[in-house]
Amino acid sequence: MTAGRVDLTTRIGRLTLSNPVMTASGTFAFGREFAELYDLSLLGAIVVKGTSLEPRRGNPPPRIFETASGMLNAIGLQNDGVRSFLDEKLPFLRQFDTRVIVNIVGNRAGEYAELARILHDAQGVDALEINISCPNVEHGHAEFAGDPSATFTVVDAVRKATSKPILPKLSPNVTDIRVFARACEEAGADAVSLINTLVGTAIDIRTRRFRLANVTGGLSGPCIKPVALRMVYQTAQAVRIPVVGIGGIVTAEDAVEFLLAGATAVQVGTGNFVNPMAAPEIVEGIKGYLAERGLNSPSDIIGKVEKAI
Amino acid sequence: MTQDAAGASKFSRRVAIAGTQHLGGAIHLLRVRFPEIAASALPGQFVEVKASEGSDPLLPRPFSVNQVDAHRQTFAFLYEALGCSTRQMAQKAAGDELLVTGPLGKPYPLEPDVCDEVVFVAGGLGIASFLFAAQTLKERGDPRPVRLLYGARSAESIVLTGEFERLGVRCEVATDDGSLGEKGLVTGLLERYLASDPRNPALYVCGPAPMLKAAAGIAEARGARCFLSLETYMGCGMGVCVGCTIKMKTGDGPDDFEYQRACVDGPVVDAARLIW
Ligand SMILES: Cc1cc2nc3c(=O)[nH]c(=O)nc-3n(C[C@H](O)[C@H](O)[C@H](O)COP(=O)(O)OP(=O)(O)OC[C@H]3O[C@@H](n4cnc5c(N)ncnc54)[C@H](O)[C@@H]3O)c2cc1C
Ligand SMILES: Cc1cc2nc3c(=O)[nH]c(=O)nc-3n(C[C@H](O)[C@H](O)[C@H](O)COP(=O)(O)O)c2cc1C
Ligand code: FES
């Protein structure tokens, strides 16, 4: 085995990661819990839970429900606000040799810009992921993610507020995701992350009630992987900036599919719940996949998918 | 807040089943070899177990630690094969693998200053976590009297009472159909016990939600300390998804509450603070 020769170093524009595997926002909190299981330095990057200017209490329970090969969630972006992130969460994350990407969320373009200004000054914040696509809060989806010009406005406002790398995170709940990716590219985004969850619901036929207090929730997990993979493939063809692939990744095989489809890096979300060791196992698995084929770098397979016939 | 350095205090891997035992009805005991968890788990804590290889079902499920062997190499959990994962577990045999993560959650407060009499109140499979608690008190040489009030549908669902008795626990049983012990609900046993004016007891209650609610009400009326072990629907089981929230009082006003995570701020909670 020539595993020693594989170098997983990954560049997402100006952001350099030790490997292409990140953990997805909202599925890894702020790292503390997983640090009790493994060394977070094994990860390419950690994308922290969606962080807003002010604390948010989140939605009433029930907030999650398992569905066929997936789960619905309507957490409602419960978080303690950006100040608490900087004071209480960031210092812990900074002990690890990994990248910290802060997922930011607001109600107006000005709030995103304000968050970006606050985080711009923070040592140890390597990049911002702009969550314009959360389906579970009132203003999240309709205003920014459903309208390319509103997407542009938000990304543009964040771009002007910080020189740190920015990665808008796109919603799959649109007709053509490429239009939104291009709007982000025009506004100066360094890369795009996709996909966020698909809006869905579930009903308990015994009680005739919705399973979630919020009625609808975001669908994630292996059941959304084919949709995510298609969108990553299409987007990678449509923009020049790197694409970070997200959706249903549980194993290294899943991650390799995304790289082949054109993703420069991947995020593991629900997979962290399925198998808490999923992310470090995926890092090793990608290394093994490359080594077995005599390849040296993930860049050797990015976008290298070919037609079936 | 402490900046504790990275170090494993939870463990997650595929482990082999060391043994299985059918206890009656659809209730089984499953023992796995996992020395780190066996050595560090505390009573009331749980593990997340994934029985399927693929995504049906997708998420692991929480199970209480039921007992730990004397050498702290293996631990066991109890389950009733009714749902998707538990039916898959029932198909497994020694040597087969499960993905296990733990130990997770807050343990029962069993310190001597909490009460003068320890009272476990179990409804159905709610019995699962109490054997480990009784074992632990015995090992610690705790001199306080320990009592178990235990209710279930029928005789075949009453399990492990012999083990409790061997540990010196005084057991009282009630069944819905009267096939074992008294005919009636465990809450009846609890009412009668508290009416006997026991000296500074604490109740540790685990079972279906209606029973927890009833027990909490009885405890409040009698002014007894009461800890509930909640079986909240969970996503990650380790505090990251915030999907398992419970509403906890932070004061006396109508808006004095916060959403806490049942998996890390619980599953054991003080009944006086829980908002149903
Ligand atoms: C902290 C904690 C500790 C727990 N400890 C234990 C434990 O020690 N032992 C234990 O057995 N459980 C325990 N539970 C509950 C257990 O995690 C759930 O019951 C789990 O959903 C079982 O997984 P499953 O896939 O088999 O059931 P699912 O398919 O998820 O079904 C959900 C529930 O519905 C019930 N159900 C499903 N189908 C039927 C049916 N046809 N008829 C009647 N009921 C049905 C199941 O019993 C189950 O409780 C605990 C839960 C928590 C939160
Ligand atoms: C419980 C939960 C909470 C989430 N919270 C956030 C969030 O705060 N911000 C965000 O951009 N995405 C959030 N997501 C979406 C994920 O980051 C990811 O985009 C999505 O789940 C698809 O990937 P997966 O199938 O690997 O989970 C959340 C997902 C889940 C399951
Ligand atoms: S189950 Fe995920 S936070 Fe409790």
DSSP A134-175: -TTSTTHIIIIIT-HHHHHHHHHHHHHH--S-EEEE--S-SS
Q: Which helix (H) or strand (E) segment is B24 a member of? A: strand B11-24
Cβ contact B50–A275 (<8 Å): yes
Cβ contact A274–B58 (<8 Å): yes
pLDDT in tens, chain B (276 residues): 333 444 579 999 999 999 999 999 999 999 999 999 999 999 999 999 999 999 999 999 999 999 999 899 999 999 999 999 999 999 999 999 999 999 999 999 999 999 999 999 999 999 999 999 999 999 999 999 999 999 999 999 999 999 999 999 999 999 999 999 999 999 999 999 999 999 999 999 999 999 999 999 999 999 999 999 999 999 999 999 999 999 999 998 888 999 999 999 999 999 999 999
- Domain ranges (residues) in chain A: 3-61+77-197+221-300
Q: Which residues surround ligand 1 with Cβ inside 6 Å?
A: B 46, 57, 61-64, 77-80, 82-86, 125, 128, 231-232, 234, 267
Judge whether A144 and A151 are in contact, CB under 8 Å.
yes
In the 8-state DSSP scheme, what is residue A85?
I
Q: Looking at ligand 2, which atom is closest to the CA of residue A250? A: 26
Q: What is the pLDDT of residue B106?
A: 97
- A60-82 pLDDT, tens digit each: 999 999 999 999 999 988 899 99
- A232-280 pLDDT, tens digit each: 999 999 999 999 999 999 999 999 999 999 999 999 999 999 999 999 9
CATH of domain A3-61+77-197+221-300: 3.20.20.70
In the 8-state DSSP scheme, what is residue A298?
G
Q: What is the pLDDT of residue A143?
A: 57
Told to judge if A134 belongs to the known catalytic residues of this protein, a careful annotator would answer yes
> How much is the ipTM here?
0.94
Judge whether A10 and A191 are in contact, CB under 8 Å.
no
Cβ contact A63–B236 (<8 Å): no
Q: What is the pLDDT of residue B7?
A: 59
Q: Is the pLDDT score of A137 beyond 90? A: no
**Which amino acid is located at B204 in the chain?**
Y
- A185-227 pLDDT, tens digit each: 999 999 999 999 999 999 999 999 999 999 999 999 999 999 9
pTM given for the model = 0.95
- Nearest in space to A274 (alpha carbons), one of B58, B92, B6, B105: B58
Q: How far apart are the first and last CA of chain A?
A: 32
- Nearest in space to A31 (alpha carbons), one of B1, B13, B240: B240
Q: What is the pLDDT of residue B4?
A: 45
Provide the pairing of β-strand B146-152 with B170-175. Answer: parallel
Count Cβ atoms below 10 Å from residue B133 Cβ, excluding itself.
26
